[in-house]
Amino acid sequence: MLVNELNNNGQSSRSGNSVLLVDDHALVTETIGLALVAAGFSVVGVAANGYEAIQKFSQLIPEVAVLDVGLPGMDGFDLCREIRKIRPECVVILLTGRTDEKAIEDGLRSGANAMVPKSEGIDGLITAIRRGLMGDPYERTCQTRPSVTELRAVAQQALDPLTIREREVLHLIAEGMSINEVGDTLQLSVTVVETIRSQIMQKLNMDSVALLVQYAMQNGLIPG
């Protein structure tokens, strides 16, 4: 319980953007909660695991959810996805001790507004929440060590696994060009173009040109 700042129901007595804190360490939620209340936020509830968090989130419908990634049972990534189903517009901030590429990619895929390393401290968390409430995109809000350029690259790869050259070849194939015409346009041999086409089909798990054309239309490579 947040001493002197939360009432007996675990709710803040102050007005401000409502926040749900989720961490399995009571000392962490108390420390963060006091800091958020001091910064003008309203801590409406705390939870120690993902399942309890879903129950409280459904009841309280807060504007912000601050989640520890390393929760027991359901981790913060999965919890973020569940919260998005209940309230898509909720600002979700993930607190993590990991800053490796895999963790960042998992955060992006989960739909979190930001991942904040625990080493950033309270100031980093508050900044991430405020930017999230202002509608800043993930890469501007994220306080992790990788650069904005690296985060964009990870996000783009998650959405589109193709390289620039593969997208060029796909674009021309979708426009109706033959393999020979694609090769002439890009100054590539027929063998290279065929290899790239095979790589595209393998990456996208598609086995026909018709499916490739559909993919190109859906991803803005050719007019729909």
Residue 185 CB neighbours (<10 A): 14
For the stretch 147-185, pLDDT in tens is 444 444 444 444 457 788 888 898 898 888 999 999 999
Name the 3-class secondary structure at 9: coil
Mean pLDDT of the region 39-50 = 93
Phi/psi zone of residue 215: left (φ > 0), alpha (ψ -120 to 50 degrees), beta? alpha
Kindly tell me if the per-residue pLDDT of 130 is higher than 80.
yes
Tokens 């800043």, residue? 136
Q: Topology of domain 18-158, per CATH?
A: Rossmann fold (3.40.50)
Q: Token digits for 49? A: 């695991």
Domain parsing of the chain, residue ranges: 18-158, 164-218
Residue 137 CB neighbours (<10 A): 15
What's the pTM value of the predicted model, to 2 decimals? 0.58
**Per-residue DSSP letter, 143:** -
Mean pLDDT of the region 13-23 = 79
Residues 6+ apart with CB under 8 A from 159: none
Q: What percent of the chain has pLDDT over 90?
A: 35
Nearest one of 76, 68, 5 to 38, comparing CA atoms:
5
Can you tell me the distance from the alpha carbon of 152 to that of 41, in angstroms, rounded to the nearest whole number? 30
Can you tell me the distance from the alpha carbon of 186 to that of 157, in angstroms, rounded to the nearest whole number? 23
Mean pLDDT of the region 208-215 = 81
- Per-chain mean pLDDT for the chain: 80
CA distances from 135 to 139, 198, 219 (A): 12, 40, 24
Mean pLDDT of the region 87-106 = 83
Can you tell me the distance from the alpha carbon of 196 to that of 49, in angstroms, rounded to the nearest whole number? 46
Q: What is the pLDDT of residue 131?
A: 87
For the stretch 65-94, pLDDT in tens is 999 998 988 999 999 999 988 998 999 999
Domain 164-218, CATH among 1.20.1530.20, 1.10.10.10, 2.40.50.100, 1.10.3720.10:
1.10.10.10
Q: Token digits for 218? A: 């859906």
Dihedral sign computed on CA atoms, order 147, 150, 154, 160: positive
Can you tell me the distance from the alpha carbon of 134 to that of 116, in angstroms, rounded to the nearest whole number? 17
